[in-house]
Structure 1
Amino acid sequence: MKKKIYTTLALAGLLVLNSCTDLNEIILDETFGSNLTDKQAVEGIIAPVYARLPDIFNHTNHFALQEISTDEAILPYRGGTDWGDNGIYLAMHAHTHGANDPNIRNTWNLILQGMSRAITAINTLPTMNDPSAKTFLAEARGMRAYYSMLTLDLFGLVFVKNDVGETSKIIRGEEAFEYIKSELLAVEPNLETNVGPGRLTKGGAWSLLARLYLNAAVYRDRYATQFNFKPEDMDKVIEYCDKIISSGQYQLSRDYFAIFNDDNHDNKELIFAVDQRAELNGHNRMAYFSISGDQFPLYNFPAANGTDGPAITSDYYRTWVNAYGDKDPSVDPRFYKQNISIYTNPADSCVAGPDFNIDRGILRGQQYGLVRKNGVFVKCSNGNFKVAKLNYDTRNRSDLPVNFSEKVDFTVEGSNYNTGYRVEKYQFSKKSASGRNFGDADIVITRLADIYLMRAEAKLRKSNDAAGALADVNTVRAARNITTPPPALATMTLDLLFRERGFEFYWEMVRRPDMIRFGKYEGTWTEKTNNDPKKRIFPIPQTAIDGASNIPGYLKQNEGY
């Protein structure tokens, strides 16, 4: 998508949500403006279909549901004053959340708004004259299928609707799986190959089909004691992964963190992503959410900082420690990338502003950075910026160092501002004056490493092809070779593959479905002992059920809520 798509959208004032449950849209301006060309008009119709993705992938929406509900991320009540939010993050992590959780409600609403906009585009694009309308129609229908995948994964249901005036049919289980599959297969021939990753392409459709088939056993029988991974489903996973790999269109990134840089829109590892370039008014929440409020990543924006949000659990951190034994986990370049040189060279305490970049990956221990006093950064005598140990000055706790501890939990001690190792995976946008806005980095939905690891999993589940799976996993590990790559593995099992997915995809909003598929979601970890399989899906927001009350029996709450 180009910038002009959003300009067209602003001029046209195309769409407004009317009902989250009935999926109705109101066309505010069917003429799209008399000065628009046919091509601008069709671009204006497809733009809203994608426009909700940055909001869905905001830090408190899809991320909260897919990460804070797992053993990877925990968000305690910081210092007894911050991130309390009526206990919603504590409940999400402990699996005691309910139907009035605002993050669940917002995620539901945003996904259904995206789906509703897709339906509007599906009905409008066939009337347009521009040749690109055929491609955009396929994208709109494919995006409806993607939004359906999200509702199936998160809430266990799919809304089926072809016209804006209809009442949606609700389907679940096998019927929902077959519907999404058939929709993706129907649009794949008309999708382009090289307009991504911010638009749905053939490769994007193949990656979604692979993910759909891999999770088919879960979607068919959500509360099964043991999932039935059918060989024919695993064959399809392998088939679509093979298509992507053999296309030659994508390549694994040598630099792991480059996948999440500001300029990652052109990174060849990305297959399908949320187009977050600053000119499209993206957000920087993935970068700011975890780091300290006294970490200021940008020398020219003294108001841009972190927020002391979620940390990783000790349980997740220990998987790295256990994997590498007597070696520090940073032997794996996916774990950490040092950018602040004072850690290894104490003399580097004065840095030119443009040369300053905060560290990436999993941040442990005492943090160094730009020193801010009275709202401005301290400078050295040569005009460079002072870099030193950080304390919690912004919290009026100058006695508390920004020294991230492994311990983090819901106790008073474990909920302090400095508890828990933090994650800075996405690059902090250099244009984000507040730290929250103007995120340049595209947010990953699917990428090539996932294709290799999905294929590896399918090989293991179908025929226990450990050798084939090991080769796929080691291909990904060996590719991260801009520095010393992680050491090759010698064996492969499902448990090792689950661990490897945790190393490769942490903080990428796939942990919850991974844990469910591997039978780990009812386990015990920091502050979580609930083992109810009904928590594998989230409750339908009470507001949605109340809104549908005029149709008796139309929208029923999920079991266990």
Structure 2
Amino acid sequence: MLDFKKIKMKKMKNIIIGLIAAFLVFGCTDLDEELNDSINSSDSSVSASDLLIGAYSSLRELQHEQDLLPAYVHSSDELIPPTRGGDWDDAGLWRDHHLHGWTNTHAHIDKTWRDLNSRAFNAQQVLCNGDGSASEIAQATFLRTFLDFFTMDLFGVVPRRACGEDLLLPPTEQLQRIEAVDVFISELEAVFNDLPSSGTPDVATQNAARMLLAKLYLNRAVYKATGADGGALEGPYSFEAADMTAVINNVNDLAGYTLEDEYFSSFISANSETSSEIIFVSQNELGGATGRINNRWHMSMHYNQQPSGWNGFVATVELYNLFEDSDVRKSSAVPGISDQFGYNAGFLIGQQSGPVDGGLVFEDLKDRQQGPLVFTEDVNLFNSNETRGIRVVKYTPNPTFTVENNSLQFANDNAPGNDYVFFRYADARLMKAEAILRGGTDTGGETALDIVNELRMMRNATALPAVTESDILDERSRELYWEGWRRNDQIRFGTFLGTWQEKGSASTAKSLLMPIPAEAISTNPNLIQNPGY
């Protein structure tokens, strides 16, 4: 049973850093004199410690529903963003993700580029400040590399500024992914011993670095498969045994983590305090400083459920059909949610029920036209009514509620305490299984089948008799659905350009990279647009 009383209020000093994101990333024609036209460390009035706090806090923007989620999940075989009459049309922006129809003026892609680059710059401010301790410099290096990893993975190029560089000019360095992956590995390994050996999951520890190194080594062959024009090449990829062994060694060195008995404890309001799996998060403070983590339940739930949702995104039938009914990842009761509000965590399908008129007696819910609120597998990307589509509730609302106006109300629904999970141990274990299958050596003698079946038994799923690459990809989807890794996984396994529910046509290789926003190129002529855009 999950203990929802075990909530430790987390404290994080928040500061306002007077840096304009678009200016920092692209260059700008107007600059406050106090910046002195450069990244200057000698006369900074802000300490490295304060800058590092700001760099950590700025990660919260990546929780936005228009950021990493559409880039990594909307574009995959796990999620459909249906238009429902006039709802969720937004000039086709959501459909573009599902159909790989991006352009270089896509608003979400522009936001993601700006957010990743400006937050990497925030981390670099620590490195350029001049008064940081070895640990602060190491943590800032991790944060910059972590953010640049996503930029490299999505766009294939990473613009960087050196300390002392003129901010009135565009960034001079444009790291291409074929070289960036090696640079990132070198940077992390250089500062590894200066990172904290342990700490809370909102801090860049050595374990967080091990996870990022494992990601880099696991995908290194993908990034090296780059054409002369800078475009990404479609697999199959040539995975080096040494890289796969490096994945295994980094996972083996993770200290203090175990697979969680309660799967959804990694996504509740007190997840960083209750889950034994969480390695690195973007921190949210219950009732305090928080990102938009509440979009993870609002975006899928119906208006007449509690808390009232936005009635948006749904799971593909391919994702839903991966699960056995016994698998706890498919559906699990969550105390304070299921008993009070009538739905489980996981997938919601069929007739929905909940408390009506402020009561605790459940009744069948209705849609806004007073018809039965029945979620169905059938959905249409362009034209769906408000009940079509399988809903997903993975991160769960804070179950502490108050009774107001004779109805139940969630407390702190606009400032929930669920930390946003970037890295967790189950992901690490599945990376190790994949690396073994791809030719890596584990000195402990574990097999890929051992690892996958250990996880499946924990999730109450039937053990597999054997394991293939396809099995690993499916298991990663079962374990990590809607967590933000599916695009990365599908590209590595060669399925990202294919077809799935409501995506009837295969994509071309250009979709392996997103377009660099037109705004970025117009202000940084050193950037070259990705092929096909």
TM range (shorter): 0.7 to 0.9
Give the letter aligned to residue 343 of structure 2: I
- Preserved CA contact (<8 Å) 2:161 2:173: yes
Please list every run of 5 or more consecutive structure 1 residues that lacks an aligned counterpart in the other structure: 31-39, 298-304, 321-328, 344-350, 372-376, 380-384
Residues 443 and 59 of structure 1: CA distance in aligned 2, closer, same or farther (over 3 Å): same
Residue 52 of structure 1 aligns to a residue whose secondary structure is: helix
Decide which of 87, 90, 94 is 2:92's aligned counterpart: 87
- SS of the residue 1:391 aligns to: coil
Residue 218 (structure 2) pairs with residue 214 (structure 1): yes
Q: Are 1:441 and 2:418 counterparts?
A: yes
Equivalent-residue separation in structure 2 for 1:473 and 1:225 (angstroms): 24
Shift of 1:45: 1.5
Q: 1:26 to 1:271 in 2, by over 3 A?
A: farther
Measured on the aligned residues, the alpha-carbon RMSD in Å equals 2.8
Change (3 A) 1:542 1:29: closer
Establish whether residue 258 from structure 1 lines up as the match of residue 265 from structure 2.
yes
Aligned mates of 2:237, 2:412 — CA distance in 1: 43
| 8 A contact 2:378–2:388 mirrored in 1 | yes
Gaps of 5+ in 2: 1-7, 37-45, 226-231, 401-408
| 1:365 and 2:337 correspond | no
The aligned counterpart of 1:332 is 327
More relative contact order, 1 or 2 (CA 8 Å, 6+ apart): 2
| Mapped partners of 1:26, 1:106: distance in 2 | 23
CA distance in 1, matches of 2:484, 2:164: 31
| Structure 1 residue 19, shift from structure 2 partner | 1.7
Q: How does 1:294-305 map to 2 (within 5 A)?
A: 294-297=304-307, 305=308
Q: Secondary structure at the match of 1:444?
A: strand
Give yes or no for the alignment of 1:459 onto 2:436.
yes
TM-superposed deviation, 1:535: 0.1
Report matched runs for 1:48-87 at 5 Å.
48-78=54-84, 80-87=85-92
- Looking at structure 2, the residues matched to 178 and 437 of structure 1 have their Cα atoms a distance apart, in angstroms, of 41
CA shift digits 1:478-500 (9 cap, x unpaired): 334xxxx2222221110111111
Q: Residue 28 of structure 1: CA displacement?
A: 6.4
Could you tell me which residue of structure 1 aligns to residue 310 of structure 2? 307
- Kindly report which structure 2 residues correspond to 1:144-163, keeping only aligned pairs within 5 A, or say none: 144-163=144-163
Corresponding residue number in structure 1 for 2:278: 270
CA distance in 1, matches of 2:9, 2:56: 12
CA deviation profile, 1:105-137 (whole Å, cap 9, x unmatched) = 11111111101111111111x325xxxx32121
Q: CA deviation at 1:2?
A: 8.9
* Contact kept? 1:340, 1:368, Cα under 8 Å: no
- Give matches, 1:49-448, under 5 Å: 49-78=55-84, 80-124=85-129, 126-127=130-131, 133-163=133-163, 165-166=165-166, 167-221=171-225, 222-244=232-254, 247=255, 249-266=256-273, 267-278=275-286, 279-283=288-292, 284-297=294-307, 305-320=308-323, 329-339=324-334, 355-356=340-341, 358-371=343-356, 377-379=357-359, 385-393=360-368, 397-399=369-371, 401-412=372-383, 415-430=384-399, 437-448=414-425
Structure 2 counterpart of 1:477: 456
Task: Report the counterpart of residue 53 of structure 2 in structure 1.
Answer: 47
Q: Secondary structure at the match of 1:127?
A: coil
Distance 1:158-1:411 versus aligned 2 partners, 3 A rule: closer
1:508 is the counterpart of 2:483: yes
Note the alpha carbon deviations across 1:76-112, whole angstroms, 9 max, x for none.
111x111100001111101112111111111111111
Give me the whole-angstrom Cα distance separating, in 1, the residues matched to 2:498 and 2:367. 35
Hey, what's the Cα distance between the residues in 1 that align with 2:474 and 2:244? 20
Q: Distance in 1 between matches of 2:216 and 2:335?
A: 41
Percent of residue pairs bearing the same amino acid type: 31
Contact persistence 1:456–1:469 (CA under 8 A): yes
TM-superposition CA deviations, 1:56-80 (whole Å, max 9, x none): 12122110111111110000111x1
Contact 2:22 2:114 in 1 (8 A): no
Kindly state the Cα deviation for residue 444 of structure 1 after the two structures are TM-superposed. 1.1
Give the superposition deviation at 1:23.
6.7
Structure with the bigger percentage of helix: 1
Residues 370 and 29 of structure 1, relative CA distance in 2, 3 Å threshold: farther
TM-score of the aligned structures, taking structure 1 as reference length: 0.82
TM-score normalized by structure 2? Answer: 0.86
